[in-house]
Chains A and B, each alone.
Chain A
Amino acid sequence: METLGHLAHGFSVAFTPMNLMWCLLGTTLGTAIGVLPGLGPALTIALLLPITYQVAPEASFILFAGIYYGAMYGGSTTSILLNTPGESATIVTALEGNKMARSGRGGAALATSAIGSFVAGTIGTLGVAFLAPVVVKFALAFGPAEYFSLMVLAFITVSAVLGSSSVRGLTSLFAGFVIGMIGVDLQTGQPRFTFGSTELLDGVDVIIAAVGLFAVGETLYMASRRYAGKDEIVPLKGSLYMTAAEWGRSWKAWLRGAAIGFPIGAMPAGGAEIPTFLSYAIEKKLSKHKEEFGTVGAIEGVAGPEAANNASAAGVLVPMLTLGLPTSATAAIMLSAFQSYGINPGPLLLTTQADLVWGLIASLFIANVILVILNLPLIGLWVRLLEIPAPQLYAGILVFATVGTYGISQSPIDLVILYLLGAAGFLMRRFDFPTAPVIIGMILGPLAETQFRRAMTISNGDWSVFYTHKLSLTLLTLAFIGLVGPHIWAFIEHRRRRGPEHVPGDA
């Protein structure tokens, strides 16, 4: 009941004309960048971080949240019509959605993903509103040792469990730690990793890191891969309206997708990959039209994963708002926006910044409504964005990258750092290293270090605090299982299948 009162207050914040305008701007911009291949919400929010110098926190978070939700809607359009998943969470949407588009049911695929996103986004946002206060009560019992262990768990799941390889994922994370440590150590004032340069004393700005890795790296990669096959846009055919049969097949999938996506997204481990793949597998198993999967495209295979994706995106906001624990690159950049206002997300945020948090949650409901309006009738308009030719698109991305970077300090050194990170981003893309853990490591690394040192100071330098506290030990055990479990499982599977005689022994 208390939550309903907070929500009503949140709506009174979100329903001011200015905040509605920010919400509309964010959702429109988010849809556009979601549609354009090569851009994502993390990069866009990073480029817009300078508005935090000018605009009230409520307004900028409403804008950022609109971009975050909008990108989910736009991303499905690209996956369905272009078969180019912008991020790992929309891979599954592309699987069936593009097949549907090729067999002339692209309109229905777009409609089920938009309405499914609306249903799941609304359920997920309700989940945030009701779950966040519960998590806060739990989180207040956390000491520094528990926080540190929780962050270790988040590090392991975000980089090792979700990616294609735990070694490469962890490498990205550790690279992020190094970037995050550049600058003055906040507790002792000692400069670290500055190579004697005064320019680096302030550290590397998160904008430069995100823009370098995502925009410059992506542009270099696309330039180097021009010989790879060209994507073709499947023209939008057929009615945008779903038939009664398609509605009947979609709605259960939406609800199931939301039920899978939200809890997994809300865990401190987060991630949208697992719930989307899980939802796809479940829909395939339950479907009465199994023959459509992978051939002409099954509508359940779009509806379920797309709902799971949006619900998990909402879920990611729970650990971000209540624990200050970002589990996606976008959430990490939103956390740095909080920091630039001098606000530290954590258990107290819901009470000390009630206007901000509840206004944000209320605006997410509004964003969902705006998005379904923007995406159903105007879908043809968004599709036209796909016709922007690659040369001008990538050249334009670089111009905006320069604005975002050079605008911070007008220092050419920042451009040098941007390009170096861009080169690193290119190599990472080329050699299949995930880039999101770099950003998460960069933002969360220093926070984890602070908690670690705090815990060690309280315990007088006794390392046992991390394993004598029950909760901390549980979290570390979970992290350890997450790291080695899949390898042990693969090893056992291998032995069972091929007998024990040749075991190359994997790293």
Chain B
Amino acid sequence: MSTINQPAAPSRLAVPELLVGIGLLACAGAVAWQTLAIPVSPLYSKVGPTVFPYLTMVGLMVLSLLLILAALRGGWQPEEEKETPTDWKAMGFVVIGLIANLLLIRPLGFTAASVIMFVLVCYGFGSKHTLRDALTGLILALAAYFGFARALGVNIGAGFIENQLNSVIDAIIGALGG
């Protein structure tokens, strides 16, 4: 924003920031498209369900144009942030871990999917102790599962592991109660 204090050096185009601005303009376009798709009853001629969406759309368009303008003037990121290289490999492993979790949580259940995600994310962050990570992940996932499922009654996706343990716990509770 405050390009005021910069000397009148030839401003260079900041490509990443420009892409952010253009992406946001596309979002504003999507808002416009979805706003036009809202059916308006003729009874609501004054302030219907579209007034606020239109205001939001206009706001987003103005803001994205301002961001594009800032990008054309050299962007807003500080130099040190630009100079730090992005660790694509680490990020890639985190993303793979997330996607694996998404695909496996239905077929394998929460705990198994979480352990796989845990190991992949740890590996991405540079951990080399895969077996130990798997064990840590298992303990954590079981703690999280039973914390939510049993203490709070929020039933999150149970798979093979959870069902086996649940029946064991029920059997123990039954034995103690009976």
Contacts and interface: CB of A to CB of B under 8 A. Distances in A.
B48 A188 contact: yes
A402 B121 contact: no
B62 to A, nearest CB: 9
Contacts of B125: 222-223, 226, 390-391, 394-395
Interface string B25-46: 0010001001100111100101
Contact of A224 (B44, B51, B86, B140): B86
Q: How large is the interface on B (under 10, 10 to 19, 20 to 34, 35 or more residues)?
A: 35 or more
B156 A412 contact: no
Interface string A181-194: 10001011011111
B156 A431 contact: no
List the 8 shortest-distance A-B pairs measured between CB atoms, nearest first: A391-B125, A461-B46, A391-B127, A395-B121, A407-B156, A185-B49, A391-B122, A456-B47
Interface of B: 1-6, 8, 16-17, 20, 24, 27, 31, 34-35, 38-41, 44, 46-49, 51-53, 56, 59-60, 63-64, 66-67, 69-70, 76-77, 81, 84-88, 90-91, 93-95, 97-99, 101-102, 105-106, 110, 113-114, 117-119, 121-127, 133, 136-137, 140-141, 144-145, 147-148, 152-157
Contacts, number: 219
Interface residues of A, number: 74
Contact of A50 (B2, B17, B95, B154): B154
B1 A165 contact: yes
Q: Is the interface of A mostly helix, strand, loop or mixed?
A: helix
B87 A223 contact: yes
B76 A403 contact: no
Summarize B's interface: helix, strand, loop or mixed: helix
A402 B52 contact: no
Nearest to A194: B34
A178 interface: yes
Contacts of A453: 47, 51-52
Interface in A378-431: 389-392, 394-396, 398-400, 402-403, 406-408, 410, 412, 415-416, 419, 422, 427, 430-431
Interface stretch (A90-98, A108-116, A169-177): A169-177
Contacts of B4: 490-491, 494, 504, 506
B52 A449 contact: yes
